[in-house]
Amino acid sequence: MTIGIDAFIFLSALLFAIGFGGVLLRKNTLVIYMCLELMLVASTLAFVAFSSFNGTMDGNVFVFFILTVAAAEVAVGLAIIVALFRRRQTVQVDELDALKN
Amino acid sequence: MPDLFFYLFSVFTVVCAFGVVLNRNTVNAAICLLLCLFGVAALFTLLDAYLLAVLLVLVYAGAVVALFLFIVMLLDTQGGHNRPFKSLAIFASAAGFALLVSGAWMLVTRGEWPAHTASAAVASPTGSVLKSYAELLFTTYLLPVQIMGFLLLIAMLGVIVLCKKFEGLEDVK
């Protein structure tokens, strides 16, 4: 394969930027959460690329931990969103302004 | 041929990522996330990380996206919420996106990267072998593995506490 590591790193940074823009742009808490997951996956792509091009396994093993943390984070975050919806009847971030003023 | 696959899957992944961000329908956004994760898994296989590709599809597509879809259908917030984006939010996200992309572009074009001789297939002869993962997980990274297990336990307990309604708490006390 003639593709260098820089292409993979740029792709991972691009995915991270797309997720970042989505977090700023979107109003729905669930979609914001999906964009956060996108950013996590982009970071795992960078880890795997570095690990593969350096010939070590440490990056690949670290991706295991990132996947575990992401799974736990999604479970807790979605539980918080459900609890929020039960109390406020909305998941739009611009309506969740209880801390304003 | 792997080059062609790289361009194919990277374009696919980026298009699906834009689909997650720009799609008004939450269910469609979740499906776009699923497709994007499949694209990333394909890129993992190009990097000889076959086990991680399978794990990504299993954990993310099997658990996380299914959970997202489940919560979307549980909350049912689709009706009447398709308001246009605020211009300030559009400006902020476009500026953040442009800054990050330009920074990454500078890093890629001006940085000194290792030569292409360290190709993935040559450099990691044991990349696909399960044994090398297990060896690292049970020697160097044994403590993080234990902490991860504990973290999962805490997350499970936390979710139960968050979702349970404590109405008869006085009786317990």
Gap between the Cα atoms of A12 and A47, Å rounded: 9
The per-residue pLDDT for range B119-171, each reduced to its tens digit, is 444 444 544 568 888 888 899 999 999 999 999 999 999 999 888 877 766 65
Residue A28 pairs in a beta bridge with A92
Work out how many domains chain A is built from and give that number: 1
ipTM of the shown complex: 0.92
DSSP A13: H
**pTM listed for this prediction:** 0.87
The token pair at A35 is 């964009």
pLDDT at B123: 45
CB pairs under 8 A between A and B: 241
A30 touches chain B (CB under 8 A): yes
Domain that holds residue A86: 5-94
Q: What's the pLDDT tens digit per position in B27-51?
A: 999 999 999 999 999 999 999 888 8
Q: What DSSP designation does A57 have?
A: S
Residue A82 maps to which CATH number?
Answer: 1.10.287.3510
B29–A31 C-beta distance less than 8 A: yes
Interface test with A, best of B71, B81, B105, B166 (most A CBs within 10 A): B71
> Which chain A residue lies closest to B118 (C-alpha atoms)?
A53
Q: Mind listing the pLDDT tens digit for each residue in B78-95?
A: 655 566 778 888 899 999
Q: Which CATH number fits domain B2-126: 3.40.50.280, 1.20.120.1200, 1.10.10.10, 3.10.450.50?
A: 1.20.120.1200
> CB distance A79–B158 less than 8 Å?
yes
Write out the DSSP string of chain B. -HHHHHHHHHHHHHHHHHHHHH-SSHHHHHHHHHHHHHHHHHHHHHTT-HHHHHHHIIIIIIIIHHHHHHHHHHH---TT--PPPPHHHHHHHHHHHHHHHHHHHHHHHHS-PPPTTS-HHHH-TTTT-HHHHHHHHHTTTHHHHHHHHHHHHHHHHHHHHHHS--SSHHHH-
